[in-house]
Amino acid sequence: MAELTATEPPQLSRSLSLSGASAISTGLAFAAINFLGMAAMLTYVSGPLSWIAVLAGGVFILGVRALFSELNGLYPTAAGIRLWMGRAMNDRVALIITLTYMTAIVLVIGADAYIIGEALAHAFNNGHLVAMVYVTVLLVLATWLNLRGIKLAGAAEKVVTTIVVLGTVAIGVAAIVNHEPLAHPGADSSSSPLQALILGIFLYTGFEWVTTNAEEVTKPKTIQRAMLVAVLVLAASQAIFAVAMGLTLNGEQLGTAYPQLLVAEAALGHAGMLAMLAITALTAVNTFNGGFVTLSRFIYAVAREGKLPRALTRLNDRAVPVLPVYLLGGSSLILAGVVALTGSFFVMVSVCAALEMMIYAAAGYVVWRLRRQDPDQARPFRMRGGAFVALGCAGLFGLLGILASVTVGPDISPVPLLIVLGFAALATVYVFTYVPRLERREAEELAARRAARAAARAASRTGAQVVESQEGARS
Amino acid sequence: MSADVNRDAVSTEELHEALVEYVDKANASPRSKKTLASWTCRIHIQATDLPDAAFTFHVIKGVAQPMVQGLEGVPDLVVRGGSIDLAEIFWGDANPVSNYMQGAIKTQGRADDVMRLDAMAMFIFLGQ
């Protein structure tokens, strides 16, 4: 294949602005599960100091931003993750990591649906069973909207993200100003700065998914700047709300699936709680919009590449990949059901955190490997500190990922690790047994099409020669 | 075996011919016209190894317009790649998504438009 040379970015009729990209990055990170992340964090660090954990997490995330900026500069494409991992490691390993990572998005969608269902049930004094009805309705609605090809446009996305951020900050400030001393604060049983840091990092995860919009910008620096804006916005808003939560809720309240509602209720009464309910629902709009659209299209692309079954490429009359959307809706519903039955929402937080740390570790490794493999390649953005800082990031996030996978709230538990290993094992078996068959079929079909075209061209050339010779004979 | 295998490049004329054939096939595919009926997109196609190989492919409500040589108007989508990679895609000899995932072709524009362009190729060559 020919190597592409760098060319000037073109003008496009519709392109993504810095504010639009920042809204996408912030919106993807600011999920309802973040409120549970804050609650889990507050079991390790006392409320008034929780902002330190959030900001420390932000500092580490700036390192992640540098890694993704360098990779996005090298491969500014929606297929970035497949591309840069494929360049730096064995394609099979890259595919296993990608497929395992994709489960994190399903987890976030399922968890968000569950959290909103529980929040609605709390707000309207319903039981857990009705909460599951809300979850089902939400996911059916999200699936239906996706199948109809309806999604949030750029301007609406900005409005939704702005309301979520400003609303969270306003309620957080009100809670800090109005709080009363707590009899049983959350972090009285255990104190672990490292665990608090992991959860601090978790509050930003997903911000890097904006790199899949790299082809929609006309200025290459827009994505890296958008990620910086998102990190700053997330740091400020979540630090305020984490402090508010720590000052307002006791240990028992932190263990609920809707701690944010309790913060708002304590600060502003029933009206505040309803406002927070609306904000929580809006975070899901971003999660469902970004998660469903991004992941279903990604599944479609991997299937079109010939690495997933072809049935996943079937489009409906609105050019929406039908099966991936159904699969996402169905698996999110099953997941939300399992969480509702087991009450294991903090396990979800740990699994998501572990998967995200894993991908950050992989990004660090890839930056290091590509710097060694091709040191002279033009890099629009270079991570400061050189290749060894990237390798250090890989090691650090790898360790944090392992730690995240063996803790649930304040307890040590192997469950998140077993779930992650289960996903990875399934992906490995699939990649080594089924993918080779798909690849063989794809190669055979392409060869058959090539042969058919060559035969058709040969026939048309022969026909032309016959006509020419007949005309020559006549003249 | 195709004569195109192991070639590094095609000429501008060959690429143009491939694109013209592609337009005909797109308009002959009922599935493409039905599914992409609401899709309007101006696409600039540029070969990175042939300075004069630049084309404008305009789809209006799912109907592919005649291929224009040169770049006309402000595009919704830009597709760039080596001439042989582009030609193989439009001939149906290569999987466009494989080429895209391997970085052999690059796009600029909305992901929805990229997906619809790929869907068009899928309807034409895989008959889905």
Could you give the CA distance from residue A31 to residue A286 in angstroms, rounded to a whole number? 8
Other residues' Cβ atoms within 10 Å of the Cβ of residue A30: 29
Nearest 5°: CA angle at A427, between A349 and A303? 105
Could you give the CA distance from residue B11 to residue A275 in angstroms, rounded to a whole number? 63
Chain B residues in contact with A304 (beta carbon < 8 A): 95-97, 118, 122
Could you give the CA distance from residue A46 to residue A202 in angstroms, rounded to a whole number? 18
- Indicate the pTM of the whole model: 0.88
Q: What is the mean pLDDT of residues A203-224?
A: 91
Q: What is the mean pLDDT of residues A224-233?
A: 97
* pLDDT score of A420 more than 60: yes
- Residue position matching structure tokens 């939704």: A160
* Separation of first and last alpha carbons in chain A: 46
Query: Among A121-125, A180-184, A361-365, B58-62, where is mean pLDDT lowest?
Result: A180-184
Interface contact B22, partner A, CB < 8 A: no
Interface contact B118, partner A, CB < 8 A: yes
pLDDT winner (highest mean) among A150-164, A280-294, A306-320, B76-90: B76-90
Chain B residues in contact with A213 (beta carbon < 8 A): 111
Residue of B nearest to A300 (CA): B115
If you count DSSP H runs as helices and E runs as strands, how many of each does chain B have, helices first? Answer: 5, 6
Q: Which of B36, B46, B97 to mutate to test the interface with A (most CBs of A within 10 A)?
A: B97
What pLDDT is attached to residue A8?
Answer: 55
What pLDDT is attached to residue B3?
Answer: 44
What pLDDT is attached to residue A6?
Answer: 43
CA distances from A183 to A30, A92, A244, A246, A257 (A): 30, 54, 15, 12, 21
The 10s digit of each residue's pLDDT in A166-207 is 999 999 999 999 887 765 555 555 668 888 999 999 999 999
Residues B83 and B49 sit within 8 Å (Cβ to Cβ): yes
Interface contact A440, partner B, CB < 8 A: no
Q: Do B109 and A301 touch (CB under 8 A)?
A: no
Q: What is the mean pLDDT of residues A461-473?
A: 72
The 10s digit of each residue's pLDDT in A69-94 is 999 999 888 888 888 998 999 989 99
Interface contact B101, partner A, CB < 8 A: yes
- At residue B59 the predicted structure's pLDDT band, cuts being 50, 70 and 90, is very high
Could you give the CA distance from residue A353 to residue A200 in angstroms, rounded to a whole number? 10
What pLDDT is attached to residue A189?
Answer: 52
Interface contact B109, partner A, CB < 8 A: yes
Residue of A nearest to B35 (CA): A317
